Amino acid sequence: MATEALPKDPALSDPERQQRIDGDAKFHRLGWKRLTVISIVEAIALGSLGLPSAFATLGMVAGTIMTIGLGFVAIYAGYNIGETKLKYPEIGHYADVGRLLLGNIGSKIFVGSFVALLVFVIGSHCLTGAIAFQTIAQSNVCSIVFSIVSAAILMLLAIPPSFAEIAILGYIDFASIIVAIGVTMIATGIQRSSGTGEFVDGMIPWSAWPKEGLTFSAAIVATNNIVFAYSFAGCLPSFMEDMHTPEDYVKTLWWMGGIQIIVYTLTGSIIYAFVGQGVQSPALLSAGPVISRVVFGIALPVIFISGSINTTVVCRYIHGKVYRDSVVRYVNTSKGWMTWLGLVFLVTILAWVIAEAIPIFSELLSIISALFVSGLSFYIPPIMWYVLLREGAWYEKHNLKTAVLNGIVFVVGIIVFGCGTYASIAELIAKFQSGSVGKPFTCS
């Protein structure tokens, strides 16, 4: 729903006209500080939980370099997206970029990718919620029951249609993940110093280099887990659409990107250093049976609030497109609320199906990264610069450095897409065949 002047339609009654005015005001009152909080919690939630395992696979040196390097690449790509949104204010969501780049065909491709990315991410939150409840309950209840409960909570939290309305939950969300990660670090550190848990003879069980016998597929899956941690770009235009001053997005981008890089690097390196090769994914499982129950309880807000933000984004896009020329899109009428609630329900059900179909945390994140984040966060933003933002030939002096930088970002995205898709599928098939994980739609 792009920002535009409300049409003076004489066919509208006074109440309908007022509903449009109120609805437009409701959807354009987000400031950059609240946006920073929303963006951080939408991005940091699950991304941080897969990083210690990625560090264990890649080694401390490569893990740190990849985390910091990909973070700055994602920030720059986000800048391209933000500038494109400012130059073309008719862009309400990322999917709208497709029409500008490739016409109707591009629009369909981008819509599919945008919606699929967010539904898959919601599914990953549903899966994490089920893992959390299983860990906390320590019961023989079928895991499908816990995943259904997770889906229901995600659906309830996605009911508010405005990002400004859910921004207050972002503060709770951010505190939740920071405390959960902090407790995990402290607990694993105490275990290491006392010689309990995974540790042998007081030795520090981490390595600066990749683990022995590392396969290509495992290395790429670990890299994709880092890529997933920087998947914020897909939601950036949607968030900017709710801002009263969209130009302030740059402040959000740098604050969010900087905090992400710091949190991810510290989380991945410290927990890996304390736990070593035995670190699990999600990382909260590495704190031991008792502490894991505590930290998962602390992390419940971030699992569900962050997931519901993605539900709101995708439902806002679909609802706004279906009711583009109607007051129904503002979700301030009875029909608006009925259609909104129905859409939230359908999206959540679809996400739940994905969570049950791919019940492995690391591989699910890797597939999301390879298929969707690779494009939306990496190789498509350079295309935006070349087609929509560039002024003059790419080889002209004032464009050359930027062209080279965008070329590098593009190549990174293509590598993640090609190698990542192959590796994710290969690892998923191998784990199903080995029986190391449960089958889809079964109790585990």
User: What's residue 347's pLDDT?
Assistant: 97
Encode the chain (444 residues) as per-residue pLDDT tens digits: 444 444 455 555 666 566 555 555 555 667 888 888 878 877 776 678 789 999 999 999 999 999 999 999 999 999 999 999 999 999 988 989 999 999 989 999 999 998 998 998 899 899 889 989 998 988 888 889 999 999 999 999 999 887 766 777 878 888 888 898 899 889 888 877 665 554 444 445 789 999 888 988 889 989 988 998 898 888 899 889 888 899 999 999 999 999 999 999 999 999 999 888 888 877 888 877 888 899 989 989 988 998 998 999 899 999 988 998 888 888 888 999 999 999 999 999 999 998 888 777 667 778 888 888 899 999 999 999 999 999 999 999 999 999 999 999 999 999 999 998 998 888 878 877 776 666 677 776
Q: Is-contact 84 417, C-beta < 8 A?
A: no
Domain that holds residue 266: 42-434
CA 213 – CA 340 distance, rounded (Å): 50
Cis status, amide bond into 15, omega within 30 of 0: no
Residue 117 backbone zone (phi > 0: left; psi -120 to 50: alpha; other: beta): alpha
pLDDT tens, position by position, 386-443: 999 999 999 999 999 999 999 999 999 999 999 989 988 888 788 777 766 666 777 7
CA 69 – CA 29 distance, rounded (Å): 34
243 in helix, strand or coil? Answer: strand
Q: Please tell me the total count of domains within the chain.
A: 1
- Amino acid at residue number 151: A
Q: Is-contact 53 361, C-beta < 8 A?
A: no
User: Tell me, what DSSP letter sits at residue 331?
Assistant: S
CA 121 – CA 351 distance, rounded (Å): 8
Please check whether residue 124 lies inside any domain of the structure: yes
**Residue 274 structure tokens:** 């304390």
User: What's residue 378's pLDDT?
Assistant: 95
CA 406 – CA 390 distance, rounded (Å): 11
CATH number of the domain within which 119 lies:
1.20.1740
Q: Is-contact 283 133, C-beta < 8 A?
A: no
CA 227 – CA 47 distance, rounded (Å): 8
CA 74 – CA 59 distance, rounded (Å): 22
> What is the chain's percent helix, strand, coil content, to nearest 5?
80, 0, 20
- Amino acid at residue number 297: G
User: What's residue 224's pLDDT?
Assistant: 87
Please check whether residue 395 lies inside any domain of the structure: yes
Please check whether residue 301 lies inside any domain of the structure: yes
**Residue 271 structure tokens:** 């927990």
Please check whether residue 317 lies inside any domain of the structure: yes
Query: Is 214 exposed, middle or buried, given 0-12, 13-18 or 19+ CB atoms closer than 10 A?
Result: middle
Please check whether residue 6 lies inside any domain of the structure: no
Q: Is-contact 319 329, C-beta < 8 A?
A: yes
Q: Is-contact 309 169, C-beta < 8 A?
A: no
pLDDT tens, position by position, 137-150: 888 888 899 999 99
Please check whether residue 34 lies inside any domain of the structure: no
- Amino acid at residue number 203: M
Please check whether residue 24 lies inside any domain of the structure: no
User: What's residue 201's pLDDT?
Assistant: 47
Residue with tokens 């080889």: 395
90 in helix, strand or coil? Answer: coil
Cβ count near 181 (within 10 Å): 26
Please check whether residue 10 lies inside any domain of the structure: no
Query: Is 349 exposed, middle or buried, given 0-12, 13-18 or 19+ CB atoms closer than 10 A?
Result: exposed
